[in-house]
Amino acid sequence: MLESIKVTERLRWPEVEMSKKYILNSTDKPVSLSQVYLEKISSSVLKDLFTTGTSSYNVLLQAEEEEKQSPKHSPYRRPKTSVKCASTVHKRSRPGMAPAVVRGSEGGSDTVPSNHVSSGSRSNLPRPARTITVQGSTMGLSPRPVPHPRKVCIPSSSRTKLPSLPKSTIVRDMENAKKLCILTAIKPSNVEKEKVKFFKSDFNYNPQFEYSNPVSPLVLARHNNASDRFLTQAVRIMELALQRYGNYEKFEQTTGGNLLTKSRIWYNVKKYMEKEGCMGEIVVHVTDDLLSRASMTVVNSRPTLTINISTAREHWLEGMLRHEIGTHYFRGINNSHQPWSTSVGRKKHNLKPLNPTEEGLASIHSVLFRKDPTLWRAALLYYTVYQASQLSFSQLFHDLGRFVQDPNTRWDYCVRAKRGQTNTAQPGCFSKDQVYLDGILKILRYRDKINFPLLMALGKVSFEDVDRLKGLAQMDSVRIPHFLQDQASYAEQLEKIMEVNQLTDEELRVIV
Protein backbone atom coordinates (compact mmCIF):
# COMPACT_ATOMS: atom_id res chain seq x y z
CA MET A 1 0.00 0.00 0.00
CA LEU A 2 1.01 3.53 -0.58
CA GLU A 3 2.15 4.83 2.79
CA SER A 4 3.33 8.29 1.85
CA ILE A 5 2.53 10.42 -1.10
CA LYS A 6 3.23 13.86 -2.40
CA VAL A 7 0.76 16.77 -2.27
CA THR A 8 -0.22 18.77 -5.33
CA GLU A 9 -3.85 19.69 -5.30
CA ARG A 10 -7.04 19.39 -3.30
CA LEU A 11 -6.58 18.01 0.21
CA ARG A 12 -8.47 14.99 1.52
CA TRP A 13 -7.64 13.43 4.87
CA PRO A 14 -8.70 9.78 5.11
CA GLU A 15 -9.36 7.70 8.20
CA VAL A 16 -8.58 4.40 6.51
CA GLU A 17 -6.54 3.19 3.59
CA MET A 18 -8.85 2.78 0.59
CA SER A 19 -6.44 2.60 -2.35
CA LYS A 20 -6.29 -0.22 -4.90
CA LYS A 21 -3.10 -1.10 -6.74
CA TYR A 22 -2.88 -2.07 -10.36
CA ILE A 23 -0.45 -2.02 -13.21
CA LEU A 24 -1.61 -1.30 -16.72
CA ASN A 25 0.00 -3.15 -19.58
CA SER A 26 -0.83 -3.98 -23.16
CA THR A 27 -1.54 -7.41 -24.57
CA ASP A 28 -2.18 -6.26 -28.09
CA LYS A 29 1.05 -4.70 -29.25
CA PRO A 30 4.80 -5.37 -29.11
CA VAL A 31 7.01 -3.53 -26.67
CA SER A 32 8.00 -0.11 -27.94
CA LEU A 33 11.57 1.10 -28.21
CA SER A 34 10.84 3.71 -25.54
CA GLN A 35 10.00 0.89 -23.13
CA VAL A 36 13.14 -1.08 -24.00
CA TYR A 37 15.26 1.92 -23.07
CA LEU A 38 14.11 1.54 -19.47
CA GLU A 39 16.03 -1.71 -19.16
CA LYS A 40 19.28 0.12 -19.89
CA ILE A 41 19.05 2.66 -17.10
CA SER A 42 22.04 2.76 -14.80
CA SER A 43 22.12 2.18 -11.05
CA SER A 44 21.09 5.76 -10.30
CA VAL A 45 18.02 5.80 -12.55
CA LEU A 46 15.18 6.32 -10.11
CA LYS A 47 17.12 7.97 -7.30
CA ASP A 48 16.09 11.44 -8.37
CA LEU A 49 13.42 10.42 -10.89
CA PHE A 50 10.63 12.37 -9.25
CA THR A 51 12.71 14.87 -7.27
CA THR A 52 11.02 18.06 -8.41
CA GLY A 53 11.95 20.09 -5.36
CA THR A 54 8.24 20.81 -4.73
CA SER A 55 4.51 18.10 -6.29
CA SER A 56 3.64 16.13 -7.99
CA TYR A 57 6.55 18.85 -5.34
CA ASN A 58 9.20 17.20 -3.27
CA VAL A 59 11.05 19.04 -0.49
CA LEU A 60 13.64 17.13 1.46
CA LEU A 61 14.42 18.59 4.87
CA GLN A 62 17.71 18.31 6.65
CA ALA A 63 16.82 16.91 10.05
CA GLU A 64 19.73 18.19 12.05
CA GLU A 65 18.47 16.50 15.18
CA GLU A 66 19.00 13.08 13.47
CA GLU A 67 22.55 13.81 12.36
CA LYS A 68 24.21 11.74 15.06
CA GLN A 69 21.65 8.94 14.99
CA SER A 70 22.44 5.61 13.33
CA PRO A 71 20.10 4.74 10.44
CA LYS A 72 19.26 1.41 11.97
CA HIS A 73 17.92 3.17 15.04
CA SER A 74 15.97 5.76 13.07
CA PRO A 75 12.40 6.19 14.33
CA TYR A 76 11.31 6.69 10.74
CA ARG A 77 11.99 3.13 9.61
CA ARG A 78 8.96 1.04 8.72
CA PRO A 79 9.17 -2.66 7.91
CA LYS A 80 8.41 -3.97 4.43
CA THR A 81 7.59 -0.58 2.95
CA SER A 82 9.74 1.90 1.13
CA VAL A 83 8.43 5.18 -0.19
CA LYS A 84 10.32 8.02 -1.73
CA CYS A 85 8.50 11.32 -1.81
CA ALA A 86 8.04 12.54 -5.30
CA SER A 87 6.81 15.08 -7.69
CA THR A 88 3.72 16.68 -8.16
CA VAL A 89 2.38 17.97 -6.13
CA HIS A 90 1.12 18.92 -6.01
CA LYS A 91 1.16 12.39 -1.26
CA ARG A 92 0.64 11.46 2.26
CA SER A 93 0.22 8.67 4.70
CA ARG A 94 -2.63 7.83 7.02
CA PRO A 95 -3.08 10.06 10.06
CA GLY A 96 -0.74 9.24 12.88
CA MET A 97 1.65 7.16 10.81
CA ALA A 98 5.36 7.91 10.85
CA PRO A 99 6.83 8.71 7.44
CA ALA A 100 8.34 5.78 5.63
CA VAL A 101 11.82 6.02 4.18
CA VAL A 102 13.55 4.05 1.45
CA ARG A 103 14.89 0.75 2.75
CA GLY A 104 17.72 -1.31 1.37
CA SER A 105 15.79 -4.55 1.84
CA GLU A 106 13.19 -3.71 -0.78
CA GLY A 107 15.19 -4.65 -3.86
CA GLY A 108 13.50 -8.00 -4.55
CA SER A 109 12.45 -9.12 -7.99
CA ASP A 110 9.51 -11.47 -7.50
CA THR A 111 7.35 -11.82 -10.59
CA VAL A 112 3.58 -11.51 -10.42
CA PRO A 113 2.15 -12.08 -13.91
CA SER A 114 -1.40 -11.48 -15.07
CA ASN A 115 -3.38 -11.15 -18.25
CA HIS A 116 -5.84 -8.40 -17.46
CA VAL A 117 -6.31 -4.88 -16.09
CA SER A 118 -8.49 -4.46 -13.03
CA SER A 119 -10.22 -1.42 -11.65
CA GLY A 120 -11.36 -2.67 -8.27
CA SER A 121 -14.85 -1.39 -8.95
CA ARG A 122 -18.14 -3.07 -9.90
CA SER A 123 -17.87 -2.72 -13.64
CA ASN A 124 -17.67 -4.87 -16.73
CA LEU A 125 -13.94 -5.31 -16.24
CA PRO A 126 -12.63 -8.55 -14.67
CA ARG A 127 -12.44 -8.68 -10.89
CA PRO A 128 -8.90 -7.93 -9.63
CA ALA A 129 -6.69 -10.65 -8.27
CA ARG A 130 -5.63 -10.26 -4.66
CA THR A 131 -2.08 -9.47 -5.76
CA ILE A 132 -0.69 -6.64 -7.85
CA THR A 133 -0.67 -7.85 -11.43
CA VAL A 134 1.41 -7.16 -14.51
CA GLN A 135 0.69 -8.38 -18.04
CA GLY A 136 3.78 -10.00 -19.43
CA SER A 137 6.14 -7.94 -17.26
CA THR A 138 8.91 -8.94 -14.92
CA MET A 139 9.31 -6.62 -11.96
CA GLY A 140 10.36 -6.39 -8.34
CA LEU A 141 7.03 -6.72 -6.56
CA SER A 142 6.45 -8.94 -3.52
CA PRO A 143 2.83 -10.18 -3.59
CA ARG A 144 0.70 -10.08 -0.48
CA PRO A 145 0.61 -13.61 1.03
CA VAL A 146 -2.67 -15.41 0.34
CA PRO A 147 -3.76 -18.97 1.16
CA HIS A 148 -4.11 -20.05 -2.49
CA PRO A 149 -2.36 -17.74 -4.99
CA ARG A 150 -4.18 -17.40 -8.26
CA LYS A 151 -2.41 -19.01 -11.18
CA VAL A 152 -2.43 -17.07 -14.42
CA CYS A 153 -1.10 -18.17 -17.76
CA ILE A 154 1.47 -15.83 -19.30
CA PRO A 155 1.39 -15.36 -23.04
CA SER A 156 4.68 -15.73 -24.87
CA SER A 157 5.04 -12.07 -25.65
CA SER A 158 7.89 -9.62 -25.28
CA ARG A 159 8.56 -8.58 -21.72
CA THR A 160 9.11 -5.10 -20.37
CA LYS A 161 11.05 -4.70 -17.17
CA LEU A 162 9.47 -2.21 -14.78
CA PRO A 163 11.98 0.40 -13.56
CA SER A 164 13.39 -0.50 -10.14
CA LEU A 165 15.80 1.30 -7.85
CA PRO A 166 18.94 -0.84 -7.31
CA LYS A 167 19.82 -2.08 -3.83
CA SER A 168 23.14 -0.24 -3.80
CA THR A 169 21.41 3.09 -4.33
CA ILE A 170 18.83 2.37 -1.63
CA VAL A 171 21.53 1.40 0.85
CA ARG A 172 23.42 4.62 0.20
CA ASP A 173 20.23 6.58 0.84
CA MET A 174 19.70 4.74 4.11
CA GLU A 175 23.22 5.47 5.32
CA ASN A 176 22.11 9.01 6.04
CA ALA A 177 18.76 9.20 7.83
CA LYS A 178 18.78 12.99 7.93
CA LYS A 179 16.59 13.36 4.87
CA LEU A 180 12.85 13.04 5.42
CA CYS A 181 9.94 14.09 3.33
CA ILE A 182 8.77 17.36 4.76
CA LEU A 183 5.37 16.95 3.17
CA THR A 184 4.84 13.88 5.33
CA ALA A 185 6.31 15.43 8.46
CA ILE A 186 4.05 18.50 8.35
CA LYS A 187 0.84 16.48 8.00
CA PRO A 188 -1.27 17.08 11.13
CA SER A 189 -2.17 13.86 12.92
CA ASN A 190 -5.38 15.28 14.41
CA VAL A 191 -6.85 17.04 11.38
CA GLU A 192 -10.27 15.38 11.52
CA LYS A 193 -10.66 16.08 15.22
CA GLU A 194 -9.79 19.73 14.71
CA LYS A 195 -12.12 19.98 11.73
CA VAL A 196 -15.06 18.93 13.90
CA LYS A 197 -14.19 21.62 16.46
CA PHE A 198 -13.79 24.22 13.74
CA PHE A 199 -17.14 23.53 12.11
CA LYS A 200 -18.94 23.41 15.47
CA SER A 201 -17.52 26.85 16.33
CA ASP A 202 -19.20 28.40 13.30
CA PHE A 203 -15.74 28.65 11.68
CA ASN A 204 -14.25 30.85 14.41
CA TYR A 205 -11.98 28.35 16.18
CA ASN A 206 -8.28 28.26 15.24
CA PRO A 207 -7.14 24.62 15.04
CA GLN A 208 -4.31 23.42 17.25
CA PHE A 209 -2.52 20.90 15.08
CA GLU A 210 -0.40 18.02 16.35
CA TYR A 211 2.32 16.16 14.47
CA SER A 212 3.68 12.65 14.82
CA ASN A 213 7.13 13.77 13.73
CA PRO A 214 7.41 17.55 14.24
CA VAL A 215 9.69 19.51 11.97
CA SER A 216 12.27 21.77 13.55
CA PRO A 217 11.37 25.50 13.73
CA LEU A 218 14.42 26.30 11.61
CA VAL A 219 13.16 24.13 8.74
CA LEU A 220 9.64 25.55 8.99
CA ALA A 221 11.02 29.08 8.94
CA ARG A 222 12.66 28.40 5.57
CA HIS A 223 9.23 27.61 4.13
CA ASN A 224 7.40 30.53 5.73
CA ASN A 225 8.35 33.14 3.17
CA ALA A 226 5.27 34.02 1.13
CA SER A 227 5.60 36.44 -1.77
CA ASP A 228 3.14 39.01 -3.12
CA ARG A 229 4.99 39.39 -6.42
CA PHE A 230 2.19 37.87 -8.53
CA LEU A 231 -0.71 38.55 -6.17
CA THR A 232 -2.37 41.02 -8.56
CA GLN A 233 -2.34 38.48 -11.37
CA ALA A 234 -3.64 35.70 -9.10
CA VAL A 235 -6.64 37.77 -7.97
CA ARG A 236 -7.43 38.89 -11.51
CA ILE A 237 -7.40 35.34 -12.84
CA MET A 238 -9.92 34.23 -10.23
CA GLU A 239 -12.14 37.29 -10.64
CA LEU A 240 -12.30 36.69 -14.39
CA ALA A 241 -13.48 33.15 -13.77
CA LEU A 242 -16.14 34.36 -11.33
CA GLN A 243 -17.36 36.88 -13.89
CA ARG A 244 -17.79 34.10 -16.45
CA TYR A 245 -19.28 31.41 -14.22
CA GLY A 246 -20.65 33.11 -11.10
CA ASN A 247 -18.81 30.91 -8.57
CA TYR A 248 -16.10 28.29 -8.41
CA GLU A 249 -18.52 25.39 -8.13
CA LYS A 250 -20.11 26.29 -11.48
CA PHE A 251 -16.68 26.81 -13.01
CA GLU A 252 -15.63 23.33 -11.87
CA GLN A 253 -18.75 21.65 -13.23
CA THR A 254 -18.78 23.53 -16.53
CA THR A 255 -15.10 23.24 -17.39
CA GLY A 256 -14.31 19.97 -15.64
CA GLY A 257 -17.42 18.04 -16.56
CA ASN A 258 -18.84 15.10 -14.65
CA LEU A 259 -16.94 12.94 -12.21
CA LEU A 260 -15.70 9.70 -13.76
CA THR A 261 -16.37 6.17 -12.58
CA LYS A 262 -13.43 3.89 -11.85
CA SER A 263 -13.95 1.98 -15.08
CA ARG A 264 -13.84 5.19 -17.12
CA ILE A 265 -10.72 6.33 -15.27
CA TRP A 266 -8.99 3.06 -16.10
CA TYR A 267 -10.05 3.33 -19.74
CA ASN A 268 -8.71 6.88 -20.09
CA VAL A 269 -5.46 6.14 -18.27
CA LYS A 270 -4.82 3.10 -20.47
CA LYS A 271 -5.62 5.12 -23.58
CA TYR A 272 -3.21 7.89 -22.54
CA MET A 273 -0.41 5.45 -21.69
CA GLU A 274 -0.78 3.83 -25.09
CA LYS A 275 -0.36 7.23 -26.74
CA GLU A 276 2.83 7.85 -24.75
CA GLY A 277 4.20 4.32 -25.22
CA CYS A 278 4.57 3.71 -21.49
CA MET A 279 2.21 0.81 -20.86
CA GLY A 280 3.51 -1.48 -18.11
CA GLU A 281 6.02 1.01 -16.78
CA ILE A 282 3.96 2.62 -14.02
CA VAL A 283 2.02 1.13 -11.12
CA VAL A 284 -1.44 2.71 -11.01
CA HIS A 285 -3.66 3.28 -7.96
CA VAL A 286 -7.24 4.53 -7.92
CA THR A 287 -8.37 5.78 -4.53
CA ASP A 288 -10.81 8.16 -2.87
CA ASP A 289 -8.60 9.13 0.04
CA LEU A 290 -5.82 11.11 -1.63
CA LEU A 291 -4.79 14.60 -0.57
CA SER A 292 -4.46 15.71 -4.17
CA ARG A 293 -6.07 15.02 -7.53
CA ALA A 294 -3.13 12.79 -8.40
CA SER A 295 0.46 12.08 -7.47
CA MET A 296 3.51 10.51 -9.07
CA THR A 297 5.72 8.87 -6.47
CA VAL A 298 8.26 6.09 -6.06
CA VAL A 299 6.90 3.21 -3.95
CA ASN A 300 9.05 0.15 -3.27
CA SER A 301 11.47 1.50 -5.88
CA ARG A 302 8.82 1.67 -8.62
CA PRO A 303 7.12 4.64 -10.35
CA THR A 304 3.57 4.86 -8.98
CA LEU A 305 0.67 7.02 -10.15
CA THR A 306 -2.18 7.52 -7.68
CA ILE A 307 -5.43 9.06 -8.92
CA ASN A 308 -8.13 10.52 -6.67
CA ILE A 309 -11.48 9.30 -7.95
CA SER A 310 -13.36 12.01 -6.03
CA THR A 311 -11.80 14.74 -8.20
CA ALA A 312 -11.33 12.90 -11.52
CA ARG A 313 -13.46 14.84 -14.02
CA GLU A 314 -13.99 13.95 -17.65
CA HIS A 315 -12.46 17.10 -19.16
CA TRP A 316 -9.60 17.39 -16.65
CA LEU A 317 -8.26 13.84 -16.40
CA GLU A 318 -6.01 13.96 -19.45
CA GLY A 319 -4.56 17.26 -18.25
CA MET A 320 -3.66 15.54 -14.99
CA LEU A 321 -1.97 12.73 -16.94
CA ARG A 322 0.01 15.26 -18.97
CA HIS A 323 1.05 16.84 -15.67
CA GLU A 324 2.12 13.64 -13.89
CA ILE A 325 3.25 11.33 -16.69
CA GLY A 326 3.90 13.59 -19.67
CA THR A 327 5.91 16.05 -17.60
CA HIS A 328 7.18 14.71 -14.26
CA TYR A 329 7.70 11.08 -15.29
CA PHE A 330 9.19 11.74 -18.73
CA ARG A 331 11.50 14.49 -17.49
CA GLY A 332 12.60 12.15 -14.72
CA ILE A 333 13.39 9.35 -17.19
CA ASN A 334 15.23 11.77 -19.49
CA ASN A 335 17.17 13.18 -16.56
CA SER A 336 18.53 9.72 -15.71
CA HIS A 337 20.50 9.68 -19.00
CA GLN A 338 22.19 13.03 -18.41
CA PRO A 339 25.55 13.92 -16.80
CA TRP A 340 23.65 15.96 -14.19
CA SER A 341 21.41 13.09 -13.06
CA THR A 342 22.99 13.05 -9.59
CA SER A 343 23.43 15.78 -6.99
CA VAL A 344 27.17 15.69 -7.67
CA GLY A 345 26.51 16.18 -11.38
CA ARG A 346 24.15 19.09 -10.73
CA LYS A 347 26.81 20.83 -8.66
CA LYS A 348 29.50 20.10 -11.22
CA HIS A 349 27.46 21.69 -14.02
CA ASN A 350 26.25 24.51 -11.76
CA LEU A 351 22.56 23.89 -12.45
CA LYS A 352 19.93 26.30 -11.24
CA PRO A 353 17.08 24.93 -9.06
CA LEU A 354 14.67 22.94 -11.21
CA ASN A 355 11.75 24.81 -9.71
CA PRO A 356 9.78 26.84 -10.50
CA THR A 357 10.35 25.47 -14.04
CA GLU A 358 9.31 21.88 -13.21
CA GLU A 359 5.99 22.68 -11.57
CA GLY A 360 5.30 25.63 -13.85
CA LEU A 361 5.69 23.45 -16.95
CA ALA A 362 3.55 20.67 -15.45
CA SER A 363 0.84 23.16 -14.50
CA ILE A 364 0.75 24.59 -18.02
CA HIS A 365 0.35 21.07 -19.36
CA SER A 366 -2.57 20.53 -16.96
CA VAL A 367 -4.67 23.16 -18.76
CA LEU A 368 -3.25 22.63 -22.25
CA PHE A 369 -5.98 21.97 -24.85
CA ARG A 370 -8.83 22.83 -22.45
CA LYS A 371 -11.67 24.86 -23.91
CA ASP A 372 -11.18 27.23 -20.98
CA PRO A 373 -7.58 27.08 -19.72
CA THR A 374 -8.19 29.35 -16.72
CA LEU A 375 -5.29 29.08 -14.27
CA TRP A 376 -7.68 28.97 -11.31
CA ARG A 377 -5.98 26.43 -9.12
CA ALA A 378 -2.48 27.90 -9.41
CA ALA A 379 -3.92 31.36 -8.72
CA LEU A 380 -5.92 30.28 -5.66
CA LEU A 381 -2.98 28.39 -4.16
CA TYR A 382 -0.73 31.42 -4.62
CA TYR A 383 -3.30 33.76 -3.06
CA THR A 384 -4.08 31.41 -0.15
CA VAL A 385 -0.43 31.05 0.83
CA TYR A 386 0.11 34.80 0.89
CA GLN A 387 -3.04 35.44 2.93
CA ALA A 388 -2.07 32.66 5.35
CA SER A 389 1.18 34.48 6.05
CA GLN A 390 -0.87 37.49 7.17
CA LEU A 391 -3.93 35.91 8.85
CA SER A 392 -5.00 33.32 11.38
CA PHE A 393 -6.67 30.10 10.22
CA SER A 394 -10.18 31.39 10.96
CA GLN A 395 -9.53 34.72 9.27
CA LEU A 396 -8.10 32.97 6.23
CA PHE A 397 -11.15 30.70 6.01
CA HIS A 398 -13.54 33.66 5.94
CA ASP A 399 -11.31 35.55 3.49
CA LEU A 400 -11.41 32.69 0.97
CA GLY A 401 -15.19 32.95 0.95
CA ARG A 402 -14.91 35.61 -1.73
CA PHE A 403 -13.70 32.95 -4.17
CA VAL A 404 -14.96 29.59 -2.87
CA GLN A 405 -18.34 28.97 -1.26
CA ASP A 406 -18.09 25.35 -0.18
CA PRO A 407 -16.79 25.23 3.44
CA ASN A 408 -15.14 21.83 2.99
CA THR A 409 -13.15 23.08 0.01
CA ARG A 410 -12.12 26.19 1.93
CA TRP A 411 -11.07 24.05 4.89
CA ASP A 412 -8.85 21.98 2.58
CA TYR A 413 -7.09 25.03 1.18
CA CYS A 414 -6.58 26.50 4.65
CA VAL A 415 -5.11 23.29 6.04
CA ARG A 416 -2.80 23.12 3.06
CA ALA A 417 -1.51 26.65 3.62
CA LYS A 418 -1.27 26.33 7.43
CA ARG A 419 0.25 22.85 7.67
CA GLY A 420 3.36 22.74 9.78
CA GLN A 421 1.94 25.19 12.30
CA THR A 422 0.81 24.11 15.75
CA ASN A 423 -1.12 27.19 16.83
CA THR A 424 -2.91 28.41 13.72
CA ALA A 425 -4.18 31.52 15.50
CA GLN A 426 -0.84 33.03 14.50
CA PRO A 427 -0.05 34.29 10.98
CA GLY A 428 2.14 31.86 9.09
CA CYS A 429 2.22 29.63 6.01
CA PHE A 430 3.86 26.76 4.21
CA SER A 431 4.88 28.60 1.07
CA LYS A 432 5.64 25.87 -1.46
CA ASP A 433 2.25 26.17 -3.20
CA GLN A 434 3.24 29.48 -4.71
CA VAL A 435 5.65 27.68 -7.04
CA TYR A 436 2.92 26.76 -9.55
CA LEU A 437 1.84 30.26 -10.62
CA ASP A 438 5.40 31.49 -10.25
CA GLY A 439 6.63 28.88 -12.74
CA ILE A 440 3.72 29.37 -15.13
CA LEU A 441 4.25 33.12 -15.48
CA LYS A 442 8.01 32.82 -15.92
CA ILE A 443 7.65 30.21 -18.66
CA LEU A 444 4.97 32.25 -20.45
CA ARG A 445 7.22 35.31 -20.23
CA TYR A 446 9.95 33.52 -22.22
CA ARG A 447 7.74 31.14 -24.24
CA ASP A 448 9.03 32.47 -27.60
CA LYS A 449 12.65 31.77 -26.61
CA ILE A 450 12.25 28.40 -24.88
CA ASN A 451 12.90 25.24 -26.87
CA PHE A 452 10.22 23.11 -25.18
CA PRO A 453 11.17 19.70 -26.66
CA LEU A 454 14.75 20.32 -25.57
CA LEU A 455 13.59 21.46 -22.13
CA MET A 456 11.80 18.11 -21.85
CA ALA A 457 14.72 16.09 -23.23
CA LEU A 458 17.32 17.52 -20.84
CA GLY A 459 15.43 16.29 -17.78
CA LYS A 460 15.13 18.05 -14.46
CA VAL A 461 16.60 21.40 -15.44
CA SER A 462 15.52 25.02 -15.41
CA PHE A 463 14.62 26.63 -18.72
CA GLU A 464 17.41 29.11 -17.99
CA ASP A 465 20.03 26.34 -18.25
CA VAL A 466 18.89 24.81 -21.55
CA ASP A 467 21.12 26.73 -23.96
CA ARG A 468 24.37 26.04 -22.13
CA LEU A 469 23.57 22.39 -21.40
CA LYS A 470 22.34 21.26 -24.82
CA GLY A 471 25.86 20.57 -26.09
CA LEU A 472 26.52 18.22 -23.16
CA ALA A 473 23.27 16.29 -23.29
CA GLN A 474 22.83 12.61 -24.13
CA MET A 475 19.97 12.54 -26.64
CA ASP A 476 19.95 8.91 -27.78
CA SER A 477 17.18 7.63 -25.50
CA VAL A 478 15.15 10.72 -24.62
CA ARG A 479 11.36 10.58 -24.60
CA ILE A 480 9.14 13.45 -25.72
CA PRO A 481 5.39 13.36 -24.91
CA HIS A 482 2.97 13.25 -27.83
CA PHE A 483 1.50 16.70 -27.12
CA LEU A 484 4.91 18.30 -27.74
CA GLN A 485 5.34 16.76 -31.19
CA ASP A 486 3.39 19.50 -32.98
CA GLN A 487 5.22 22.69 -32.05
CA ALA A 488 2.81 24.99 -33.91
CA SER A 489 -0.20 23.60 -32.07
CA TYR A 490 1.66 23.78 -28.75
CA ALA A 491 2.54 27.45 -29.33
CA GLU A 492 -1.09 28.21 -30.17
CA GLN A 493 -2.21 26.72 -26.87
CA LEU A 494 0.24 28.89 -24.95
CA GLU A 495 -1.20 31.96 -26.66
CA LYS A 496 -4.71 30.82 -25.72
CA ILE A 497 -3.66 30.53 -22.06
CA MET A 498 -2.33 34.09 -22.22
CA GLU A 499 -5.55 35.39 -23.77
CA VAL A 500 -8.04 33.61 -21.48
CA ASN A 501 -6.19 34.74 -18.35
CA GLN A 502 -5.74 38.28 -19.74
CA LEU A 503 -1.95 38.16 -19.49
CA THR A 504 0.08 40.39 -21.80
CA ASP A 505 3.72 40.37 -22.80
CA GLU A 506 4.06 43.96 -21.64
CA GLU A 507 2.84 43.03 -18.17
CA LEU A 508 5.02 39.93 -17.93
CA ARG A 509 8.12 41.88 -18.93
CA VAL A 510 7.50 44.17 -15.97
CA ILE A 511 6.78 41.56 -13.28
CA VAL A 512 9.18 38.79 -14.40
Task: Give the separation between CA 373 and CA 342, rounded to whole angstroms.
Answer: 35
Listing DSSP states for 96-148 in one string gives TPPPP---TT-------EES----SSSSSSPPPPSS--EESEE----PPP-SS
Q: Estimate to the nearest angstrom the gap between the alpha carbon of 289 and the chain centroid.
A: 15
C-alpha to C-alpha distances, 456 to 36, 94, 121, 378, 475, nearest whole angstrom: 19, 34, 35, 21, 11
How many Cβ atoms from other residues are within 10 Å of residue 157's Cβ? 16
Q: Could you give the 3-state DSSP secondary structure of residue 208? A: strand
Q: What secondary structure letter does DSSP report for 56?
A: B
The verdict on whether omega for the bond into residue 126 sits within 30 degrees of 0, i.e. cis, is no
d(CA 482, CA 206): 47
Q: 64 an active-site residue?
A: no
Beta strand pairing call for 283-287 and 20-23: antiparallel
Q: Which of 9, 106, 281, 324 is catalytic?
A: 324
User: How far apart are the two ends of the chain, measured CA to CA in Å?
Assistant: 42
Q: At what angle do helices 435-445 and 357-367 cross, to 10 degrees?
A: 80
CA torsion angle 356 362 366 368 (round to 10): 100
Which of 314, 318, 302, 212 is closest to 254 using CA atoms?
Answer: 314
What is the helix (H) or strand (E) element at residue 306, kind and residue range? strand 302-308
Closest CA to 223 of 4, 6, 420: 420
Burial class (CB in 10 A: 0-12, 13-18, 19+), 208: middle
Catalytic residues: 324
